[in-house]
Amino acid sequence: MVIKNVALETVCGITSTLPKNPHPEVAFAGKSNVGKSSLINGLMNRKALARTSSSPGKTQTINFYNVNDAVYLTDLPGYGYAKVSQAEKDRWGRLMEHYFQDEQQLITLGVLIVDIRHKPTADDVTMHEWFRQTGCPEIIVANKLDKLKKSEIEPNMARIRETLELGALQDQCAARHRKTAVLIL
């Protein structure tokens, strides 16, 4: 797809009404500081479309990016470690639940981003289950591949497959890039 036009169209907080978008959505999820916004920027070939930060918890809202007036990339708030209060983390959780329970959302693909250096967290497993329960296809992106030695990559990929109960099929569907590895479900 040639990216002709991409823009942040809607930002939703806990009290916001989710938009009734006319186009399919690709929802990006992952723990705080795993690289969701950086991945969106890379896919869209933009440096500062989605806001990034070295400190966890920068994305605190659901951000809808309109791509070519044909599809939305949806950047969900990070979960897990972030230097925010427990009340703020609870607010993010309610926002996510509201998003996944809204029947108007046209989530056609879920992208779960995990840190390849670590075993997927309980929150990663929960998010994986939310995607499964919606019935939409899911792509697992193992980010931060560039932080590992070559000999560490396959054992860490195996740990992700085991923790998320992905099975052997994904071995045939794996793709690697300089910074990420992708497991397609």
For position 11, what pLDDT does the model report? Answer: 87
Q: What pLDDT, in 10s, does the model give residues 9-41?
A: 988 876 677 888 889 899 999 988 888 888 898
pLDDT digits (tens, 9 = 90+) for 101-146: 776 666 789 999 999 999 999 989 988 988 888 787 889 999 988 8
Check: CB of residue 145 under 8 Å from CB of residue 151.
no
Tell me what pLDDT residue 171 has.
47
Q: Give the per-residue SS3 of the chain.
A: CCCCCEEEEEEECCCCCCCCCCCCEEEEEEECCCCHHHHHHHHCCCCCCCCCCCCCCCCCCEEEEEECCCEEEEECCCECCCCCCHHHHHHHHHHHHHHHHCCCCCEEEEEEEEECCCCCCHHHHHHHHHHHHHCCCEEEEEECHHHCCHHHHHHHHHHHHHHCCCCCHHHHCCEECCCEEEEEC
Number of Cβ atoms within 10 Å of the Cβ of 115: 22
The pLDDT of residue 125 is 93
Per residue in 145-165, pLDDT (tens digit) is 888 998 998 899 999 999 998
The pLDDT assigned to 61 comes to: 82
Contact assessment for residue 6 and residue 49, using Cβ atoms and an 8 Å cutoff: yes
- Is 67 in contact with 4 (CB distance < 8 Å)? no
Measured distance CA(62)–CA(112) in Å, rounded: 15
Q: What is the pLDDT of residues 58-82, one digit of tens each?
A: 567 888 999 999 999 999 888 866 5
Given this model, what pLDDT does residue 167 score? Answer: 74
18 burial level (CB within 10 Å; 0-12, 13-18, 19+): middle
Q: Are 116 and 142 in contact (CB under 8 A)?
A: yes
For residue 174, the model assigns a pLDDT of 57
